[in-house]
Amino acid sequence: MVSGDLRLLLVAAPLIGALVLLVADTVARVVLAPMVLPAGVLTSMLGGPLFVFLLLQRPSR
């Protein structure tokens, strides 16, 4: 986090989350055109490794 002001984060987090879900849904519909891949599958394939990466990070104190 860059600063201690959380007001920007309170607005940016839902907007970025909605944008990520919109992009994942669009990609999921375009990649396998006749079939529909659920957007949750695509977001879990991206978010799972990211979550594990964040868990394994050591605190920088």
Query: Does residue 31 sit within a domain?
Result: yes
Closest CA to 39 of 55, 54, 52, 22: 22
Domain count, the chain: 1
Query: Does residue 42 sit within a domain?
Result: yes
Domain residues for 34?
Answer: 7-56
pLDDT for position 36: 83
pLDDT for position 2: 56
Contact assessment for residue 46 and residue 25, using Cβ atoms and an 8 Å cutoff: no
Single pTM value for the model:
0.68
19 confidence band (pLDDT: 50, 70, 90): very high
> To 10 degrees, what angle do helices 39-56 and 7-31 make?
130
pLDDT for position 1: 47
